[in-house]
A = this chain, B = another copy of it.
């Protein structure tokens, strides 16, 4: 599995030059993460920077686009990504994000002419850490377009994360936990450490020894990032400690809706006062199992709303006249349409952020990865309901979609989130571009990050100091006790002598 995920990226070399500007090397993660990264690429390109993207030749997301960026392709020896995703859903395995063949893959690139190119900055998605290693190898400032790292959520690598109110990803917990939930959260945390130190760690250690000639681990390498551009904000996520070099750009991909194509506009207008619903489970998965599709279609057919449903499988026999199946939909334009009533979504970050941006309540059907955790965050704010795959059937689906449609509070809460999200001093994309350029202008931003991660863990947590002070206290108490015993004993002996 690792092999598959790691090799989303791959290797040839074209060149397009723009005027005197900075040269930025981008090491993206393929798939939906590229959707985000491309927005940054476009914004940086429009500012006159020269962009080079490292990608896998067969990537179905990262297209060649010489007008926007050059490409460094990497070898393409992986199975088809679509097949991978389908297999993945079927097995429904909790993925352990990580790396393994990044090493050989990276070596290949390094032997390339990257170092001669004199880039000013590496911009990378640390869900796979190839770009981080590359930045270190090239000794370049680097900026992370981040949410996930190989051992979990990015914040856990840089900011203090008290387990009493910071839920470990995958626990399905919120920032308000009962005692039992806190015990669960505490027990889940070692999984992160296990991944970090035993699953992922040894590979990086070996790599560091070989190529950097020093002892390092991937978390320390990540902690040397100049800026973490986090794909979230605190309208979406629970509040938590953060660091000065973390910049929140959640929803930076969101934009106002454009008018719909004529046929879609006619369809949604025909819904009258009832409005319409859209359903999409993202691009990774084409369709749900056939029985569930039948049941969902039957529920939709009973609703007075119109439904637009991204569904690539066989047409269900229970499909109503009010439901339009599509291969692809202009999701953002539909979410921004005044007649939209609800969004049935899988809970990918992009979709959730777009729902927040447009203020559309969500019925969430989480598939895998971070979907459940994403949906949980808006459910906790009363703007969504989660329906787990294992609970999904006609009855539960009908009950939940009716609740979302009929209980005004979901819409009100989501619209409040929307107002909060849109009320920022700067657009998140502009903020992101500012900080990327900031790092290039100042050749890094070391003043924004602590060097604390270079301390041994026991020093970081002051355990050595506590042990030292405790020892002193113990010795002092021991000496006092010994002295008292000595004095008592002497007094005692004297008395004995006297009494004799």
Contacts and interface: CB of A to CB of B under 8 A. Distances in A.
Interface of A: 159-160, 162-165, 175-176, 179, 182-183, 186-187, 234-235, 238-245, 381, 419-420, 423, 425-426, 430-431, 434-435, 438, 441-442, 447-452, 455, 459-462, 464-466, 468-469
A241 B243 contact: yes
29 contacts: A162-B452, A162-B460, A162-B462, A163-B462, A164-B459, A164-B465, A165-B450, A165-B452, A165-B460, A175-B450, A179-B464, A179-B468, A182-B462, A183-B465, A183-B469, A186-B462, A186-B469, A234-B448, A239-B243, A239-B450, A241-B241, A241-B243, A242-B242, A242-B243, A242-B244, A420-B442, A423-B438, A425-B430, A425-B434
Q: Which 7 A-B pairs rank lowest in CB-CB distance, beginning with the nearest?
A: A160-B160, A165-B452, A234-B244, A425-B434, A239-B450, A186-B465, A241-B241
A160 B243 contact: no
Contacts of A448: 234, 239
A465 B162 CA distance: 12
Contacts of A234: 244, 447-448
A441 B423 contact: yes
A186 to B, nearest CB: 5
A420 B442 CA distance: 8
B245 A239 contact: yes
A442 B418 CA distance: 12
A431 B425 contact: yes
A451 B182 CA distance: 15
Contacts of A160: 160, 162, 241
A186 B464 CA distance: 11
A160 B240 CA distance: 10
A176 B423 CA distance: 38
Contacts of A435: 425
B423 A426 contact: no
Given A234-B448, A425-B431, A468 B183 contact: yes
Task: Please tell me how many copies of the chain the complex holds.
Answer: 2
Contacts of A242: 241-244
Contacts of A449: 239
A447 B464 CA distance: 37
A243 B248 CA distance: 12
A420 to B, nearest CB: 6
A423 B440 CA distance: 12
Given A420-B447, A434-B425, A460 B235 contact: no
Given A164-B462, A234-B244, 15 more contacts: A162-B460, A164-B459, A182-B459, A183-B465, A186-B462, A186-B469, A234-B447, A238-B450, A239-B243, A239-B244, A239-B245, A240-B450, A241-B243, A242-B244, A420-B442
A354 to B, nearest CB: 19
A491 to B, nearest CB: 36
B240 A461 contact: no
Contacts of A235: 447
A458 to B, nearest CB: 9
Given A234-B244, A241-B243, A425-B431, A452 B164 contact: yes
A244 to B, nearest CB: 5
A164 B460 contact: yes
A6 to B, nearest CB: 32
Contacts of A239: 243-245, 447-450
Contacts of A438: 423
A66 to B, nearest CB: 31
A44 to B, nearest CB: 16
Contacts of A468: 179, 183
A449 B239 CA distance: 6
Nearest to A233: B244
Contacts of A179: 459, 464-465, 468
Contacts of A442: 419-420, 423
B241 A182 contact: no
A238 B245 CA distance: 12
A384 to B, nearest CB: 15
Contacts of A163: 462, 465
A66 B373 CA distance: 53
A311 to B, nearest CB: 35
A150 to B, nearest CB: 23
A173 to B, nearest CB: 13
